[in-house]
Amino acid sequence: MSINIKAGSEALLAAQFVDQDRLWDRMMSMADIGSLPNGGVNRPALSSSDIEARQRLLSWAGDFGFETKLDNIANLFIRLPGSENNAPPVTTGSHLDTQPRGGKFDGAYGVVGGFECLEAIYRSGIKIRRPIEVVAWTNEEGGRYQPGVMGSSIYVEELRLEDQLNKKDADGIRLEDALKKTLDSTPLLSRRDFNSPMSAYLEAHIEQGPILEGLNKTIGVVSGIQGLCWFEVEIFGEEAHAGTTPLNKRKDALQVAISIIAKLQSSILSYGDSTRFTVGRFICEPGSPSTIPGRVSFTIDFRHPEKSVIEEISNVITTVCSNHANDCKVTVDPLIFNMPVDFDPRVINCVESAASALNHEYNLMPSGAGHDAGYIAKCYPAGMIFVPCAGGVSHNEAESASASDLAAGIETLTVCLVELANS
Ligand SMILES: [Zn+2]
């Protein structure tokens, strides 16, 4: 079923109440919490600055009397009621935690912008059938406690909260203690269950890549999240004297590694422009100029938006490693195997229709990075809206986005939330 947004519709009316300056001021107000000298933000999950950010959000919600709830991993929900308030909500949101030297926009945009939608819809006076909620997911970044996307994964019961409680941060603080402090900071909020149904989930985020900027488009209609796989390759040769060992007697682990990586580079990149291939960690032992390397280990990170290609590339990796082993022993261990996520066709269509109706130029594209929406999509119809960020720079203090692009994304989001709530 496609969504057709007509001129003069209530959804478009609500979008007119999105206020670019108010959105920008709130973004900057949020960026003050945990601000760094070079313009970035350090707001670790469940830290005192994360608690302060949550309280700022709650104070804005308090101005309108919006209902607020928490679940047991401190995912925070703010609700604009609908006329059928017991129906599953249409939910938007993202995360308030940042990388240790993160920017002002990654995550905060989806939460603060989601709140701007609530305020715009409220001020427009239009009626919505299903409730609309904004969520701040706990610990998306995974900078303080691993893994990331923890709050959304626990929400959809991909991870169990009990299994995370003993995790420690770099200072030895247990997650259970940091979580308790966060939950105790809002004693009046009532609790909700994990996996409370949503009728749809739509997350706004900066792109964190250069594609929209390069195309000079304002809105990224996100089709899904590309698959991500990590492998660790270990090559066992034999340490020997660099001067006395003849070439035909050597088991040189480094030479084998070089030929494997060169072959992988050409084979994997032949799958086209959407493929990403990176060897990010490389260890060569014993690391002495006059000893033939006896052991090399390296990681492979590869990504692609199609499931069949992810499977094919995994097979290529094992084949190339065994074909180029020569006299060495080569082992290949998968570390992460995240299949691509396809977003819901109806939600994708809704974002396209909303961007067209608002005359915002858009580009249909997969997400290169992982997001909470990728986990929510396992249970509920989900999608994402991207806006450009300067130079595609993210996870960096220099992260930057324009006030008008941010507002365009939130206008698009507002139209979608109203359409999804009323359809
Ligand atoms: Zn993010």
Given a cut of 90, whether residue 255 has pLDDT beyond it is: yes
Residue 219: closest CA among 369, 106, 419, 353:
353
Predicted local distance difference test score (pLDDT) of residue 2: 72
- Distance in angstroms (rounded) separating the CA atoms of residues 104 and 395: 10
Report how far ligand 1's centroid is from the alpha carbon of 205 (Å).
Answer: 7
| Mean pLDDT, range 230-241, rounded to an integer | 97
Residue 301 phi, psi (nearest 5):
-115, 120
Q: Which residues contact 80 (CB under 8 A, 6 or more apart)?
A: 66, 118, 121, 122, 128, 131, 132, 133
Predicted local distance difference test score (pLDDT) of residue 7: 85
- Distance in angstroms (rounded) separating the CA atoms of residues 105 and 112: 10
| Mean pLDDT, range 74-82, rounded to an integer | 98
Report how far ligand 1's centroid is from the alpha carbon of 266 (Å).
Answer: 31
Report how far ligand 1's centroid is from the alpha carbon of 149 (Å).
Answer: 9
Residue 409: closest CA among 134, 114, 204, 135:
204
Radius of gyration of the chain (CA): 24
Confidence of residue 394 (pLDDT cuts 50, 70, 90): very high
Confidence of residue 318 (pLDDT cuts 50, 70, 90): very high
Report how far ligand 1's centroid is from the alpha carbon of 47 (Å).
Answer: 17
Given a cut of 60, whether residue 47 has pLDDT beyond it is: yes
Residue showing tokens 């082992």: 331
Given a cut of 60, whether residue 251 has pLDDT beyond it is: yes
Report how far ligand 1's centroid is from the alpha carbon of 20 (Å).
Answer: 21
Three-state secondary structure call for residue 381: coil
Percentage above 70 pLDDT, the chain: 100
| Mean pLDDT, range 65-80, rounded to an integer | 97
Report how far ligand 1's centroid is from the alpha carbon of 320 (Å).
Answer: 35
DSSP of 260-324: HHHHHHHHHHTT-TT-EEE---EEEES--TTEE--EEEEEEEEEES-HHHHHHHHHHHHHHHHHT
Percentage above 90 pLDDT, the chain: 95
- Distance in angstroms (rounded) separating the CA atoms of residues 193 and 256: 53
Predicted local distance difference test score (pLDDT) of residue 8: 87
Confidence of residue 336 (pLDDT cuts 50, 70, 90): confident
Contact between 377 and 384 under an 8 Å Cβ cutoff? The reply is no
Average pLDDT over the chain, rounded to whole?
96
Predicted local distance difference test score (pLDDT) of residue 1: 57
Predicted local distance difference test score (pLDDT) of residue 390: 95
Report how far ligand 1's centroid is from the alpha carbon of 92 (Å).
Answer: 13
Domains of the chain, earliest start first: 10-225+340-422 (3.40.630.10), 227-338 (3.30.70.360)
Three-state secondary structure call for residue 335: strand
Token reading at 118: 């609530």
Report how far ligand 1's centroid is from the alpha carbon of 204 (Å).
Answer: 10
